Structures are given as C-alpha cells and as structure tokens.
Structure 1
C-alpha cells in the first residue's frame, strides 16, 4: 500500500515506520524534522507542519491510508498543541478524501471499571495527563465523525522498546491486564497490531487496544 505516516520519526511512529517498510509498503514520512529520517526507494520524506491545514491537506492527497503518530510533546502546551494538530489532521484527511485514517491513541481513555477511565483514577501520573487528555479528546472527535473511515489503536498502560513477538491480545475499550498483573506492550508489537489493522481492517470507526 501507499501510506502517509505523520510523526514517523517519533517513539511510536518510528516503530510503525519500520514495521510498514518490513512488509514492503511504500511510505511517505511527514515529519517536522526531515533530517532525522533517511529516504530510500521505498521511503519518501516530507517536511510538514500539522498546524498548517492547507499544506497538510495537499500533502495527504492520493494515499491508500493515512497513519498518524503525531504527539504534542515537542510543544510547551502539550494539550492545546496536540488537540489543534489532531483537529487539522482529521480535517486534512477529509479534504484529501483519505480512504482510511489510523490514529495512535492513548491508554488513558481505556476503562479499568465500567465508566471509569484510566486517566480518571486517583493514581494517574500528572506527567502524562496532558497527552492522555489530548488522546481522549481525539477519540471523542473521531467518534463524532461521519465522513472519515477512522480507527484508533490505544496501547496498554506501559509501552516501551522490547521484542517483536507477534503474540498479543486485542481488546476494545477496556484496559488489558497480562497474567503477570501488568498492562504492557512493546512498541514493536504495537506497530505489528497497527499494520495488521491497515492490511486487514477489523475495527472500522472503532477504537481498539493491544496488550499482553
């Protein structure tokens, strides 16, 4: 497939990029700092600014799918920057008539009990609150969309570099807990789940999650 990947140089974005390339997809990486990625015959690199709607809309034309791993971590006001950016990404995908929009979500909006999301639990770390709230708002925005074929993939509570095992579980809106009592997934296996969804859509207009 011919894929546009926003945020391809980031923590999760780079794992998705590696997984997509390993499966021989053609990828255009849309990043704020193109010097961080080396182009190849299979990989095109474009400088982008998700806050520039007109530029982004033009850049998203003609792809089989758009994947966004955009985060607001590069800005002092993480929440406002992220929400503004994700709104532009959704709008640009619509204007470009993107066939699919796959979004990297957060674990904060997953439920640990009926009606209780991770972000609303007493022990939720303040350091992650802004990004978690941004991802929750992104999910709410997507759920209101009727003109975008979207999917959001939320990781488990802990996502970190590890192994590509291809052995994991999928869920919907509830936090997945492994047999060891932890909620975790490697960034490599997260990327596997994302590209699996790209290749074989199973969660159209839904959020789903992945964990051990």
Structure 2
C-alpha cells in the first residue's frame, strides 16, 4: 500500500514510518520539518507541509491508499486545544478531498472510560498540563463519530505510552483501558506502531475507536 503518515517527526510518527516500511509499504512522511526524520529508505518520501493548508495537503495526498495521522499540536503550545482541533479537522477534510477512504487517527487515552460514564480526562488526578490536549482529542473523537464518508478509525494509546522494545505482542480493547493483572495500562510506542499497522492491513475497527495494552 501507499501510506501517508502525518506528523512523522513526533514521538509516535517515526515508529509508524519504520513499521510501515518494514512491511514493504510505500510511505510519504509529512511534517513541517521532515528533514528531522532520521530515516532513509528507497520506499520513503519526505514532504514538508502545514496541515492547516487543507487544499495543499489534499493535493499532496492524492494517490495514497491510507492516511495515518499522528498529528500533535505540541504539548507546550498555549493554544493547544484549538490548534489540535483545527489541525485534525483539516487533515480529515484533506483526506476526503484527496479521494482517500481509509483514515486512521492516533488520539489520546483521556477519553477512555475508567468506570461507566467517567472518562480518564475528567478524573480528579488527571495531570493539568495534559488536560488541554486530552480534552481536544476527546472532543475530536466525538466529532469523528459523525463522519459518514470516510472509513475512519481512532486509536487511543495506553495510558502509559513509553519508549521501549518492539515485542509485537499486545491486547486490544475498545472504550476502556486494557489493564494488566497489576492494574497497569501501558504500551511501548514501538508496539503501538505494530498495532496501528495491523489495523491498516486487517481493518478490524472501521468507524470505531480501539485501544490496547500489554
């Protein structure tokens, strides 16, 4: 497949690029400064773009089979909430304008329910510094659920998304965290990329949200 990966220089993006390339897919890595992506491969094209330039982004994505967004507006961005929503909406609209049906968005864990009717982002101990980003991702998921034209999927990472080895082993869930026997919900960013590319190839959660953990 030919895969467009948005936000290719962030925390998640490079791992997704590597995983896609390792499976033989052709990849276009989109970022403001794609030269920061320290990956070289004959199947990889690096493309500079501002994701809020919807028409330009759409034109650049024409011909791809799948769009994967790992877009993040920056955790220290004082306008994170609005910038995240504006960027996500632009990527979604550009995907449609480019004539691409498959759209996978990596959001946050904040919208996962830790008990019926209570989302993680709304709990008293949720870190204040992460709340704007988590709330914007939660609100974007609510919007995305109304999308009829795209075959979308929203991936909520584990609560603890961390650097680590690629094991290729994970467990899946939908709207609640996948806790282990010790009550922890974590995943390495490498294994998140494995699950993401598995979804690209297997299409198990079309028009749904899913999550994961060890």
- TM-score, normalisation: structure 2: 0.96
Deviations along 1:131-152, whole A, 9 cap, x unmatched?
1011111211110111111001
Deviates more, 1:45-54 or 1:34-43: 34-43
Is 2:56 aligned against 1:55? Answer: yes
For 1:196-211, list aligned pairs within 5 A: 196-211=198-213
For 1:62-211, list aligned pairs within 5 A: 62-73=63-74, 75-211=77-213
What is the rounded CA distance, in whole Å, between the counterparts of 1:66 and 1:17 in structure 2?
12
What is the rounded CA distance, in whole Å, between the counterparts of 1:85 and 1:114 in structure 2?
30
Deviations along 1:61-87, whole A, 9 cap, x unmatched?
111100000001074311111100001
What is the rounded CA distance, in whole Å, between the counterparts of 1:99 and 1:62 in structure 2?
11
What is the rounded CA distance, in whole Å, between the counterparts of 1:119 and 1:76 in structure 2?
18
Structure 1 alignment gaps of length 5 or more: none
Deviates more, 1:153-162 or 1:37-46: 37-46
On the 8 A contact 1:63/1:99 being kept in 2, the answer is no
Deviation at 1:35, TM superposition (A): 1.4
Cα RMSD over matched residues? 1.1
On the 8 A contact 2:101/2:149 being kept in 1, the answer is no
Deviation at 1:200, TM superposition (A): 0.7
What is the rounded CA distance, in whole Å, between the counterparts of 1:39 and 1:134 in structure 2?
33
What is the rounded CA distance, in whole Å, between the counterparts of 1:60 and 1:99 in structure 2?
12
Query: What secondary structure does 1:166 align onto?
Result: coil
Aligned twin of 2:24 = 24
Structure 2 alignment gaps of length 5 or more: none
Query: What secondary structure does 2:67 align onto?
Result: strand
Aligned twin of 2:3 = 3
On the 8 A contact 2:141/2:154 being kept in 1, the answer is yes
Query: What secondary structure does 1:11 align onto?
Result: coil
Deviations along 1:84-126, whole A, 9 cap, x unmatched?
0001011111111112001101100000011110001110001
What is the rounded CA distance, in whole Å, between the counterparts of 1:168 and 1:154 in structure 2?
14
On the 8 A contact 1:39/1:45 being kept in 2, the answer is no
Deviation at 1:39, TM superposition (A): 4.6
